[in-house]
Structure 1
Amino acid sequence: MLDRIWAAGSALLLIAGPAAAQDLMDAPFALDWKFEGPAAPYFLAIDNGHFEEAGLDVEITAGQGSLDAIPKVATGAFPFGFADINSLAKFLDENPEAPVRAVMMVYDKPPFAVVGRVSQGVETPADLNGKILGAPPPDGAWAQFPAFAAANDLDMDSITVEPVGFPTREPMLAEGEVDAITGFSFSSVLNLLRLGVPEDDISSILMADHGLELYGNAIIVNTDWAEENPEAVTGFLTAIAAGWQDAIDDPAAGIEALAERNPAIDTELEERRLSMSIEDTVLTEYVVQNGFGGIDAERMEAALEQLQTNMEFGAAPTSDGIFDGAYLPEPLPTLE
């Protein structure tokens, strides 16, 4: 399997043969969210031995939102995390000396979405004018809403924004207390289905399909740790790519690995969530053509310019100040 995923990375994995199996390096990994479908590839990377082959003992911790992993990694509590790269750009603007950078792009197409109810008149961006929008303040999708609104010429004065919590976001939409919500497409849509909202009454407006150039979530690393352990970082990223390929090859196996850590999940729903994350955010045309984990420099510069319409920065963010591709395996892993 790994021969098909990457070529040059195989030499790297020799650092952790059977003799090294008893002396693995601890590399805890902080996720952005709960143990749901899109987390399955990381558990496959554990169960299928990819991290171990890289000489790493990886324990995965759930998170509470797009911002959650960034301070955990910046403080050194975790060497690795999974976070929204746009939130990382803002964090680094406010904390320019923080030792944290993105090192592998995972969500080449961000899942930022506005999810609405057809029965409440929300199917297109223009339908949001005059409506009530539920948005959790720490939500990555809400952070990008100003650029989305500008790209679609929305009248923000006519939109009532209701701050909501993550646990109450989908229930409030299901009960009709708000007309739409911001969130990740594969999270909010399936949560609404679980709450009994008919699928034909759910509209999912992906911001990336309506003017947003931004990237999504990336693997982040504590740069102090990375400088001391560069081979381990590349090994970690190689294992991440292998886990995603495993999930693409066999989503059901990914959900089985997930269920071992979270037995309460609805396996059918989470397999669909995983498949949506693969199709909508990971396995894009760019990734198929160029490999997994890297960025397009021109697109990143355009994304950062757009990001400045959403957030105030003390200094204009730069690609080099946020993303470091030096630790990526060469050539980039191929997902298919």
Structure 2
Amino acid sequence: MRKKMKRLAMPLAGLTLLCASFAGHASAADGEKIHVRLAWVAGGVDAPMFVAAAKGYFTEKGLDVDIVDGNGSTGTIQAVGSGDFEIGIAGLGALAQAQQGSGADTMIAVAGLLQKDPTSIISLKGSGITKPKDIEGKRLGTDAGNFEDGMIKAFAEANGLDMNKIKVIMINGGGDRVALLKGDVDFINGWANPDGDKVAERAPIEPPMLFADYGVNILGSSVIVRKDYLAKHGDTVRNFLAALQKGKADAAADPDGALKILMDARPDSNEEGIKAEIKNMPKYEHTTASQGKPYGWIAPEDVTLTISLLEKYSGMAPGLTPAKIYDGSYLPAN
């Protein structure tokens, strides 16, 4: 932290800061232009990037970064793939499926921002559902998309459960939480945050049972780039990730400051929602295998697990290898 200067030194300090300010603006304007497309509308997971931008960490690395909201991983993957954006934020699982689905091998992830899937079993307090086996004989409320993605089946298989002993009730349009609160179903499968939080606002819940803690984890939000861009601009990607790590460190040390920065950048956002996301996101930034590693580092075994789950339960074509989908060599070591 800067020390306070004596009154006599203030005019000179002001001139120095003014010159530094102009130099900073000039540096940003002259820096390498990088267009980044987020996976969705800016949220808590994106706070480190906005902090890095606001505090000049990208500028220090010679980058002029423009952050644009997205409307889903698929759209971001397409936008980066077409060359409209140099860098994107998208689910690694979604990237794997897109590669196999289109037969293209043009993009790769270089960092994992959310590595622990927040998908979970959510039930009310007193439901008796505290371990996987407890959902047998109970009623599951879910929408078609959640059921058809195969992950509830993967959860059942990984934990020796008989799906025939679970009554599945299809509830579309986001009505599963209402059904749970009304007692029409015994549990739902949704994200611990924010779905579990929204239920907990109305009634006490059991601690959400994360699929990721029971053998089923699909890697989430990741930094993606085109392979041809990476081959020509490796240092740019390294510098971007280094600045992002600095932004993450500051956001972790000062969540309220990170919230203010993000709200200044996106004033129409739901401040309470963003605050909750910034608070909860650290729970999902590492798996057991990547715990203690630098922000963004992904364990190879987690990539392998993601691929195998998608192939077995989501109908993804076989043949994708971890090296085709993730390269962690551009991340700073600390």
Quickly name the TM-score band, shorter chain normalised.
0.7 to 0.9
| CA distance in structure 1 between the aligned counterparts of 2:152 and 2:291, rounded to whole angstroms | 28
Question: Structure 2 vs 1, CA of residues 100 and 168 (structure 1 numbering), >3 Å: closer, same or farther?
Answer: farther
| CA distance in structure 2 between the aligned counterparts of 1:106 and 1:323, rounded to whole angstroms | 13
Letter of the 2:94 counterpart: S
Task: Pick the aligned partner of 1:133 from 125, 128, 141.
Answer: 141
Question: Structure 2 vs 1, CA of residues 28 and 191 (structure 1 numbering), >3 Å: closer, same or farther?
Answer: farther
CA contact (8 A) 2:141 2:179 kept: no
Aligned to 1:6: none
Task: Pick the aligned partner of 2:261 from 221, 244, 257.
Answer: 257
Query: In the TM superposition, what are the counterparts of 1:115-126 in structure 2 within 5 Å?
Result: 115-118=122-125, 122-126=129-133
| CA distance in structure 2 between the aligned counterparts of 1:176 and 1:32, rounded to whole angstroms | 34
Residue range with higher mean Cα deviation, 33-42 or 297-306: 297-306
Deviation at 1:104, TM superposition (A): 0.6
Count of residue correspondences: 309
Residue range with higher mean Cα deviation, 234-243 or 206-215: 206-215
- Who wins on radius of gyration, i.e. which is larger? 2
Deviation at 1:178, TM superposition (A): 4.9
Deviation at 1:18, TM superposition (A): 6.6
Aligned to 1:318: 321
CA contact (8 A) 2:36 2:65 kept: no
Task: Pick the aligned partner of 1:215 from 219, 223, 227.
Answer: 219
Paired-residue identity, %:
25
Residue range with higher mean Cα deviation, 252-261 or 290-299: 290-299
Residue range with higher mean Cα deviation, 231-240 or 109-118: 109-118
Task: Pick the aligned partner of 2:311 from 308, 311, 325.
Answer: 308
Deviation at 1:91, TM superposition (A): 1.5
Question: Structure 2 vs 1, CA of residues 115 and 287 (structure 1 numbering), >3 Å: closer, same or farther?
Answer: same
| CA distance in structure 2 between the aligned counterparts of 1:192 and 1:141, rounded to whole angstroms | 23
- Are 1:58 and 2:63 an aligned pair? no
Residue range with higher mean Cα deviation, 228-237 or 120-129: 120-129
Q: Deviations over 1:137-159 (max 9, x none)?
A: 2x699553332121122333434
Gaps of 5+ in 2: 2-22
Q: CA RMSD in A?
A: 3.2
Query: In the TM superposition, what are the counterparts of 1:87-106 in structure 2 within 5 Å?
Result: 87-106=94-113
Deviation at 1:185, TM superposition (A): 2.2
Query: In the TM superposition, what are the counterparts of 1:157-236 in structure 2 within 5 Å?
Result: 157=164, 158-160=166-168, 162=170, 164-165=172-173, 170=177, 173-174=180-181, 178-193=185-200, 196-198=201-203, 200-212=204-216, 214-236=218-240
DSSP-derived class of the 1:118 partner: coil
Deviation at 1:169, TM superposition (A): 5.6
Gaps of 5+ in 1: 2-15
Q: Please report the TM-score for the alignment, with normalisation by the length of structure 2.
A: 0.78
- Are 1:291 and 2:299 an aligned pair? no
CA contact (8 A) 1:106 1:218 kept: yes
| CA distance in structure 2 between the aligned counterparts of 1:140 and 1:67, rounded to whole angstroms | 20
Task: Pick the aligned partner of 1:24 from 4, 21, 31.
Answer: 31
Q: Deviations over 1:101-144 (max 9, x none)?
A: 1111222333232323336554433343341332462x699553
DSSP-derived class of the 2:29 partner: coil
Residue range with higher mean Cα deviation, 300-309 or 100-109: 300-309
Question: Structure 2 vs 1, CA of residues 18 and 68 (structure 1 numbering), >3 Å: closer, same or farther?
Answer: closer
Deviation at 1:87, TM superposition (A): 2.2
Query: In the TM superposition, what are the counterparts of 1:2-21 in structure 2 within 5 Å?
Result: 20-21=27-28
